[in-house]
A and B are shown apart, each in its own frame.
Chain A
Amino acid sequence: MHKAQFQSPLYPYLLLLPQMAIVAIFFLWPSAEAVRSSFFLQDPFFGNETFVGIDNYTDAVTRSDYGRAAWFTFLFTVVVTFFSLGIALLLAVAADNVLRGQGPYKTLLMWVYAIAPPVAGLIGIMLFDQHIGPIVDFFALFGWDMRVGVDYWDSGIAMMIVATWKQIPVNFIFFLSGLQSIPKGVREAASIDNPSASGRFWTIIFPLLAPTSFFLMIINITYAFFETFGIVDVMLKGEPGNNPVTLVYKVFLDGFRGNDLGGSSAQSVILMVFVLALTIVQFRLIERRVHYT
């Protein structure tokens, strides 16, 4: 087998340099700055700093709303990831089985993908408005007096629904292409062995989809954690009040609304550590069970 060799041992590093520079400027440097400023209190206008040790950390986690925000973020992430993956898989399997007119189905299901998170939030506000929202009217038929913006969990559920809805198309695209990459021969062989469609799905198709599912799970957890920011922001209309906030949104609230840069940095460092841990867990524990073909 022919092996490509670089002329000089330094050459590969030179080629790596642009990527490394991007990582250093856009990730390492801001992270280091966040860690550093998390130990200081800063006056917003002049940036004069007072060293406060770990005060910012203890202050952040002992506030009465921190535990509540953490719990909500956890639930929000689990619910959004589970439902956006589940519904997308269901739709992908259904679309994969359609023989005629598959194109329009696929296009319609992917449509929502083009909507930016803040716009999704805006649509959410209109649908869930406590005075004129059609979804609120619909729930009222079942005797549920949904009050988004007033009731903690009603607002939370509305956010979860909008965030899930927004994410389904991405998952759908990946699942569908995953399904279409499963060889026909495998399916045909399976249908001879097992006449039950659902049995075939869980024993053959689903395991073959595992790499896609694993990748999507990581993408969705990150989405629910970080990228739902726009949806949360628009749905809260900038006034959190007694509504649920995600931890990422809280970093923004304290840092950019409240001008408390030290406290906000401490919270983002906590998040950074958490995401690092989560990534390690995902790759160590879950990826071992995934079989790549």
Chain B
Amino acid sequence: MWKTLLAAGALALTTAAAQAEKIEIELWHAMGGALGEATNAVAEQFNASQDKYNLTPVYKGNYEETLTATIAAFRAGEQPNIVQVFDAGAATIIGAEGAVIPAQDLIENAGLEFRTDYIPGVANFYADENGKMVGMPFNSSTPILYYNVEALEKAGVEPPRTWEEFQEIAPALKEAGYVPMAQSHLPWIFTENFMSRHNLQFATNANGYEGAEGTRLLINVEPIKAHFAAVKEWIDAGLFGYYGTGWGDNQAPFENGEVAMWLGSSGSFGGLKQSAGFEFSATYLPYWEAVTEEPYNTFIGGAALFAMSGQPEEENEAAAAFFQFLSSPEPQVFWHKETGYVPITATAYELAKAEGHYDQEPAAEVGISQLQQPGGDWTKGYRMGFYVQIRDVMNREYGRIFSGEATVDEAFDIIEEEGNRLLERFAQTQSG
């Protein structure tokens, strides 16, 4: 009896010691619900894959809340090892020189080999002006077009490749009793990626990558204004549904079969599979043939992981090991299948292909292949500060266009003027 107790005690001590030896690191993220579960699963896989490090994911609310919490923690010297920051917050965290260790440096400093097969559309977005990867792309998605198969069959139409085609088929869908189309994120889909899809410059200083000083929006231009004028006409004619700024408010009418086509994120795939009670498929984001004959790649949205500075060397090594694990093919394919976010390396993409994922789910390949369409000078992404507020200005003014409170010209003048003021203010915070 005593012996067994002693043995048990000794065992407990040794396991406790083994656990204590593990280097603990923390990851702050904004992935709620099913995405949060997938994030936890990736962390568990990492912890099980080796016995030196232990990663704990912590949910910190939505993207904005996570960034705000990180800033507060950083100023108090309590920052986590890794934090997830979304596309619109990238300039804030990358601009804060010394707040993060670039992912590439982190991995190389730990003596690991930095991968060379990142998919360009994915890797560039969170890179610095010289192409060095700063943020490790985590949940990467791109806007694509989902459609209700039955609705399109009923109307006897094919999914549109271009906006010109959409204009032709939309009346038939309306006739069949559907709102032909809706979208869920005007700044992301109809602004940032609109510019990329047509290879139009979005901001000076190489879309802002060359620094905050002097960066100006180049948004007050004919192609995008014509697009918004067209959308307004479609809304008035009942050919397009606008349900406000909320993502879900626009996705819901597609899920309940009211709207025939919906522009959402490639990362919406996993959720739609569960919520949509009908057969749906996906295709590329339409473009205006009048603007460009061939479409260019879109870039990613979603978020990346950033390694915060000010941590002990061994914890940085742990973070590097996690980044290396995360970008290896198996976790990538797991994440891709589970959530619909795109794989970030060519090897992972090939693996998903070889496993027959796209034969079963052709729609799951749309996002990743759209990211690999030919690129142009202005299809890397953008880097602008106070961008959350700039997006708020866009959403507000677009809303005013659609409700008839402002003309397209007035709205774009305001976006340009107030957006540039915000950029100027951001540049001032960086110079101090």
Interfacial residues, chain A to chain B (CB-CB below 8 A): 41-50, 52, 59, 63-65, 130-131, 147-152, 237-243, 253-254, 256-260, 263
Number of interface residues of B (CB under 8 A): 44
Check if B388 sits within 8 Å of A46, measured CB to CB.
no
Check if A150 sits within 8 Å of B388, measured CB to CB.
no
Q: Is B238 an interface residue (CB 8 A)?
A: no
Q: Is B151 an interface residue (CB 8 A)?
A: no
Q: Is B115 an interface residue (CB 8 A)?
A: no
Q: Is B36 an interface residue (CB 8 A)?
A: no
Residues of A near B388 (CB, < 8 A) are 257-259
Closest B-chain residue to A65, C-beta based?
Answer: B396
A31 to chain B, nearest CB (A): 20
Check if B418 sits within 8 Å of A64, measured CB to CB.
yes
Q: Counting chain A CB atoms within 10 Å of each CB, which of B92, B253, B389 scores highest?
A: B389
Closest A-chain residue to B241, C-beta based?
Answer: A150
Known: A52-B428, A131-B253, A242-B395. A260 touches B386 (CB 8 A): yes
Q: Is B133 an interface residue (CB 8 A)?
A: no
A-B pair count, CB < 8 Å, reads 121
Known: A65-B396, A152-B403, A256-B68. A130 touches B243 (CB 8 A): yes
Q: Is B106 an interface residue (CB 8 A)?
A: no
Residues of B near A242 (CB, < 8 A) are 245, 395-400, 403, 405
B396-432 CB contact bits vs A (8 Å, 1 = yes)? 1111101101000000001000100100010011111
B34 to chain A, nearest CB (A): 19
B267-284 CB contact bits vs A (8 Å, 1 = yes)? 000000000000000000
CA distance A84 to B26 in the complex (A): 48
CA distance A238 to B246 in the complex (A): 9
A200 to chain B, nearest CB (A): 49
- 26 A-B residue pairs with Cβ-Cβ distance under 8 Å, sorted by A, are A41-B429, A43-B95, A45-B74, A45-B92, A48-B429, A50-B432, A59-B425, A63-B418, A63-B421, A64-B418, A131-B256, A147-B244, A149-B243, A150-B403, A238-B62, A238-B64, A240-B245, A240-B392, A242-B245, A242-B399, A242-B403, A243-B399, A253-B392, A257-B392, A259-B71, A259-B92
Residues of B near A240 (CB, < 8 A) are 245, 392, 395-396
Q: Is B96 an interface residue (CB 8 A)?
A: yes
Residues of A near B3 (CB, < 8 A) are none
Check if B246 sits within 8 Å of A149, measured CB to CB.
yes
B145 to chain A, nearest CB (A): 21
Check if A239 sits within 8 Å of B395, measured CB to CB.
yes
Closest A-chain residue to B247, C-beta based?
Answer: A239
B60 to chain A, nearest CB (A): 13
CA distance A52 to B95 in the complex (A): 20
A33 to chain B, nearest CB (A): 14
Check if A44 sits within 8 Å of B96, measured CB to CB.
yes
Residues of B near A42 (CB, < 8 A) are 429, 432
Check if A43 sits within 8 Å of B430, measured CB to CB.
yes
Contacts A42-B432, A59-B425 supplied; 11 other A-B pairs, CB < 8 Å:
A42-B429, A43-B430, A43-B432, A50-B432, A52-B428, A130-B243, A131-B256, A152-B399, A241-B395, A242-B397, A259-B92
Check if A44 sits within 8 Å of B92, measured CB to CB.
yes
Check if A64 sits within 8 Å of B245, measured CB to CB.
no
Q: Is B252 an interface residue (CB 8 A)?
A: yes
B65 to chain A, nearest CB (A): 8
